[in-house]
Structure 1
Amino acid sequence: SSPRAIIQILVTGSQILGKAFWEAGRQAVKNAKYTPSNAIGGDVAGVSGATSGSVTDVLTRQHRMTLDEAHLILNTRKADTLPVVLQKYEHLFKQNSPPPPPEAGKPAPKVPPPYSHYLQSKVVRAKERIEAEANA
C-alpha cells in the first residue's frame, strides 16, 4: 500500500504541476499579444494625442515631448520666464556633465562623480521644447 500511495502522490503532483505550467504558458501568450489601447509604440506619452494642426500639437510631434513633460524635467512652472528656465537648464546640464579631466600634476579622484548622458539629453530636449513653444 505504501508504494501505491507514493505513486499516487507523484501522479497527482505532476498533474497539478503540468496544469500550472500549461496555464502559465497560456497567460504568457496572452500577455505577449496584448497591446493596451493607449500604447503608442516607442513614442513618448502624450504624443499620440497631438493630432490637431495647432502649433502646440505640431511642436509636440516634432520634439516628441509635451510641454508639461518638458516643465517636469526642468522642474519649472508654465508661468516661469525663459531666463528662469535657462537657469534651471544650465544647473541640470552641469550636474549631469562628465567631470573635466584632472589638471596636470593632480591625481584623479578615486571615485569620479556620477553623470548621466541620458539625463543630460533629456534636459537638452526639454529646454528645446520650451524654447520652441516660447518662439511659436
Structure 2
Amino acid sequence: MATSDSTPEEPATVGPAVGGAWLSRLAALTTAHAARLWVAVIVGLVLDAALTVYGIRLGLTESNPVAADLIARVGVVPALALLKGASLAVAVGGWFLLPERYRGLVPAGLAIPWIGAAAVNVLAVGVVLV
C-alpha cells in the first residue's frame, strides 16, 4: 500500500540500534568531509611511517608489539608497508561495504590514530635529537 509521504524509510535493523542520533550526526559530518579525511589518512600514513623509520634508525623502539615483532622479522620498511597496506585495504573494503551515509567514518577511523601516532613520533624523535 503506497502512502503520500515521500520520505525514505529507515533500513530495518536486526537487534538493538547502535549509536542513535549521536552516531548519525558524526557520520553525516565525516561523510560530508570524506575527501579531506582521505587526504588526512595519506598525510598521517606518510608521517607516521617516515617518523617511525627515522626514530628506529635513531635507536628508538616500536611500542606496538605486533609491529615490533614484524619489524624484527622482516625489517622496518617492509613491515610498515605490509601493516599500512593491510589497514588501507580493510578501510577501502569497509568504504564500499558500508551504507553511503556512514562511509566518512572509515577515513576518520584511520586518520585520527595515524595522525596521533605521528604526533607521538614527533615528540619521541624530538626528545632524542635535543
TM (normalized to structure 1)?
A: 0.24
- Larger RCO (CA under 8 A, 6+ residues apart): 2
Which of the pair is proportionally richer in helix?
2
Which structure: larger Rg?
Answer: 1
